[in-house]
Structures are given as C-alpha cells and as structure tokens.
Chain A
C-alpha cells in the first residue's frame, strides 16, 4: 500500500522559513517523480513544485520560484520542501504527491494526507 506522510507544518511568522518532509513507503521511491501541491483553506488545488526520480529535473510554480526548494533523498525514501520568505498567501494545506512515472509529466496517482502551514504574525 502506497503511503505518503507529510510532517513539519505549523504556524510561522511572515518572512520566516519552514521545511516540510514527506516519508514515502509501499513503492520503489526512486522509480518515480514526486510533487508538492497546496490548497489554501476553502479554495482549490495549486501545484507548487515537482522533482524527477533522480533530482535532475526540477520545476516550480511561478508563485514560489526563488523562495521554495524541492529536494529528495532516495536513500531515505523522503521528499522535502524548503520554504523561505514565507508570506500570508502561502497559508495552505500542503500535499505530497507521487507521479505515475519517473519524469514528472504524467500525472499524480497517490496523495498524502496534507499538512497545514499557517503564515501569520
């Protein structure tokens, strides 16, 4: 059974940093690309970033490029999102998601349960 478990969320002040983690199990982690998708409370889904199986191809949404960094550790079956210069409009549930293939262009097949990040003073 595929499991994606996010951690690291919480309340943070504007301008500060936070690192999200996602522990993956139930599949061969280094065979697949991974993504972060977020959802501000009460609104729709927004893709944040994606990383290929070997970390060679990384993509970001314009809204986070230059502030957020996606990375992975295949030895630890883990995905990360380092968020800096956080703004109130970054407040959202952040979902870790598994791609169907190794490139990151085929679509998501499994989602984590989500982790809330609240940016407020």
Chain B
C-alpha cells in the first residue's frame, strides 16, 4: 500500500508564494488523480483542487495544482499569500489496486 507524504509545516510571508508537496511512496503519481483540500482551524475541510490541477468552483486562481513524475509528487502552489490562507492542507488520491482513498498527513501553513 502506498502512502502520501507531506511536509508537516511550512511558513511564508503575506504576498509571497508557497508550494506544498505530496510525494507518493510507491507506484506512479500520474496513475491516479490528486485532490487538495483546505481546512481552516475549527472548520470542516473544503475542496480546492481536483484531478491534479482543476480548481473547484469558487476557488481563487491564486491556488494551483500540478504533478511532477520525476519526483513522483504532486504540488499545491498558493501565490499572493493572505492571512486567511493560514490552514491545514491535505492531498488525496485513490488507490485502485486496494480500492481505498489515501490522504496525506497534512501540512500546516503559517502566514507570518
């Protein structure tokens, strides 16, 4: 069974750009679409990105997703950081071999 590994935390200043990685431990990252979710403190998750790089309705274009086969990882990039972006971010993909969904451990973004 593969795992999705994310950095525990990242921090950046308002107005800057940050990238959060999500590395698949085995199997090709391109085998299954990756989704990204945002969870602000004390709230339920919301969907940001689906199918690697498609923005969910209402999500600002400051948020973008990509996949890099060379590093076997997906990335979420947030540009023009705002204090409201301070949240936990989770990647997710489907494991077709074992018919289960896999979440990354989550990354806490601090906007200093």
Residues of A within 8 A of B (CB): 35, 37, 44-47, 50, 59-62, 95, 100, 105-114
Would A107 and B100 count as touching, CB distance under 8 A? no
Residues in chain B near residue A106, CB distance under 8 A = 33, 50-51, 94
Additional pairs, 20, CB under 8 Å, beyond known A107-B35, A108-B35:
A35-B101, A37-B45, A44-B104, A45-B37, A47-B100, A47-B102, A50-B101, A59-B99, A95-B44, A100-B50, A106-B51, A107-B47, A107-B94, A108-B37, A108-B92, A109-B56, A111-B46, A111-B47, A112-B44, A114-B44
Interface size range of chain B in the complex: 20 to 34
The residue of chain B having its C-beta at the shortest distance from the C-beta of A65 within the complex is: B100
> Which of the residues B45, B51, B104, B106 comes within 8 Å of A111, measured between beta carbons?
B45
Within 8 A of A (CB), among B59-106: 88, 90, 92, 94, 96, 99-106
Q: Is the interface of B mostly helix, strand, loop or mixed?
A: strand
Least Cβ–Cβ distance between B51 and chain A, in angstroms: 7
Chain A CB count within 10 A is highest, among B45, B46, B92, for B45
Contacts of A59 in B (CB 8 A): 99-101
User: What residues of chain B have their CB less than 8 Å away from a CB belonging to chain A?
Assistant: 33, 35, 37, 39, 44-47, 50-51, 56, 88, 90, 92, 94, 96, 99-106
